[in-house]
Chains A and B, each alone.
Chain A
C-alpha cells in the first residue's frame, strides 16, 4: 500500500475535475450529479490512473454508488 491519501484533497480534486460548483462529499451518490456523463466517467478513471497509478476495473466501478466508494478503492489499491 502506498502513502496515505488525504480524503479532503481527493474530494477537492474530483470537484475540480467535474467542474462542480457544489462541494463534493464522500456520501454523494455521484450518478445523480448533473455533471455525471460518459466523459465524467472517463475523466475520473483517467485522472486516478494518472495521479495514483491505479486503473479502477470497469466491472468494479459499476458497483460504486458514492464518491466514498471510489476513494476507498483508490486508498486500498494505490
Chain B
C-alpha cells in the first residue's frame, strides 16, 4: 500500500493543456512528473521511495498514441506508443525488427501493454531494453514545450545516471527514426529470457552499435564504430576498442568483469556478420 491520499495528479485531455500545466508548474518551481503507463513509477512508489508530490497523467492524450510509418525507412512513435504497439505494428516489423525483439523481452505482456518507449527513454535506466535499439538506429527524441519543439538525438539525450536534457516544461511527444541501412542485431544477456533485467544488452544497426547495462547511461560505442566504419574487421582490435567504450560496474545483477567479457564475446560474434548481405537478427 502506498500513501496515495497525499499525491496530486493532473489529468489533461489535450496536449496543449498538458503543456500549459507543465509550464505553470515549472515556473512555480514545483515540476510535475509525467506519468504514462506507470510500470516504472509505481515500482518506486510501491517500494516506499519518496514520491514526487505531483504527477501529470498523460494516459488520456490519445493523440500521442500509436506508431506511424513515414516512407520506406521512417518511423514515428507517439509519446504514448507502448511496447505492444511496436510488437503489433507491421511497419516496425518491416523496418526495425530488432525493436520487436526487444519489446517482447520487456517484462511480461502486462508490462508491454502499459510501458511506453518514451517512458523507457525518460526513466533513464541504464538497463533499458528498448533504448539501445533506438539509439543504434539514430532515433531522435522530439521534445515539445508550450512555445517550441526540438529534436534531440537519443545518443545525446542523457547527461548522467538517470539525468536527461528534458526541461521540466517539456514533454516527449514523439520519437522519430530514419532506420539506417544495414543488418540488425539485438542481444540481451540476462539470467533468463522472460522477466529478467539484463546483465548486458547490445543493439546494432549496420555498424552503429549501442550497449546497455555497461555504463551509467546507455551508450553508443563510438571508438568501435569509427573503426568498423573505416573498414576495420579485426576482432581482437574491435574488442580492444569496445573495452574503452564501456565502463561496467559490479552490482546486484552481475560483475564488471563478467560484463566486459560478455561485451567482448558479443562483438566477436557480431563483427564477422557485418558484411553479409542478409540481415542478422
**Is A bound to B?**
no
